[in-house]
């Protein structure tokens, strides 16, 4: 995924964050969201290493490496931001004080289970960090991820096959193809990206999708509803 698409996804996420929210931005793609929040509105960004306030990525050449986010990226703080011990930071996460957290993911299940800390591979290095605390502690969990894994299979599945970070915790998913909500009745497509059609999205997604929330002009030729196992068989061919 190129940097233009990454920034487009970050901008889309930023649109869904209400002013005044306390928001944790996870390592990787989610950190880009800080650069796209409107400057004329107030937000409280939180980082596990003990930062709270408003910041953006530092401009090249102006980095202060004593000011970093949890991904070890240099940040430029706005007036009023604060530093504190990471134990206090985790207390904020576990105490339910965050309105939203934005995380990356290896997999998400149709029921909102999240897998983002370990692929289970023998040579993989587990890196849970604060993900488990965020997944359960935040009031809403947004996931930013590529729609397909490196092997070409869907990251949105009936059930996670990787070790799970949190159960039934994901609220909304943003990919380069669509924005999707996890609901009690299934995965609902909120928005298609660019030239993506409903038919293509369903063909590359590992679960049956609900397109009822789309405007009629966006739906095109909707695929007939199919069982999850039928979709998975097609993806594995």
pLDDT of residue 237: 45
Q: Distances in Å between the alpha carbon of 33 and those of 113, 215, 216?
A: 23, 26, 30
Q: Which of 226, 232, 140, 133 is nearest to 181 (CA)?
A: 140
CB 48 within 8 A of CB 129: yes
pLDDT of residue 140: 98
pLDDT of residue 236: 41
pLDDT of residue 128: 74
The pLDDT of 72-101, averaged and rounded, is: 95
pLDDT of residue 228: 39
Using one digit for the tens of pLDDT, what is the confidence trace for 186-219? 999 999 999 999 999 999 999 999 999 997 656 6
C-beta neighbour count of 170 within 10 angstroms: 26
CATH topology of domain 3-176: Glutaconate Coenzyme A-transferase (3.40.1080)
CB 24 within 8 A of CB 49: no
Q: Tell whether the torsion through CA atoms of 134, 140, 168 and 103 is positive or negative.
A: negative
**Residues known to be catalytic:** 48
């Amino acid at each position: 995924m190129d940097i233009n698409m990454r920034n487009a996804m970050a901008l889309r996420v930023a649109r869904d964050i209400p002013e005044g929210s306390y928001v944790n931005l996870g390592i990787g793609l989610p950190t880009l969201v800080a650069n796209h929040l409107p400057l004329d509105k107030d937000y409280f960004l939180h980082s596990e290493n003990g930062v709270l306030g408003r910041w953006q990525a530092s401009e090249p050449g102006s980095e202060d490496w004593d000011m970093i986010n949890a991904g070890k990226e240099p940040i430029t703080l706005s007036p009023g931001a604060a530093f504190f011990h990471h134990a206090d930071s985790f207390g904020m996460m576990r105490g339910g004080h965050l309105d939203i957290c934005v995380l990356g993911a290896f997999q998400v299940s149709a029921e909102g289970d999240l897998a983002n800390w370990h692929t289970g591979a023998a040579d993989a290095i587990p890196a849970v960090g604060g993900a488990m605390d965020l997944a359960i502690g935040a009031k809403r969990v947004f996931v930013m991820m590529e729609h397909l894994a490196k092997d070409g299979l869907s990251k949105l599945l009936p059930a996670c096959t990787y070790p799970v970070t949190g159960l039934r915790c994901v609220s909304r998913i943003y990919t380069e193809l669509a924005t999707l909500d996890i609901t009690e009745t299934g995965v609902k497509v909120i928005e298609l990206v660019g030239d993506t059609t409903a038919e293509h999205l369903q063909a590359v997604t590992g679960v049956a999708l609900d397109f009822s929330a789309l405007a009629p002009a966006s739906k095109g030729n909707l695929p007939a509803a199919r069982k999850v196992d039928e979709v998975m068989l097609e993806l594995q061919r």
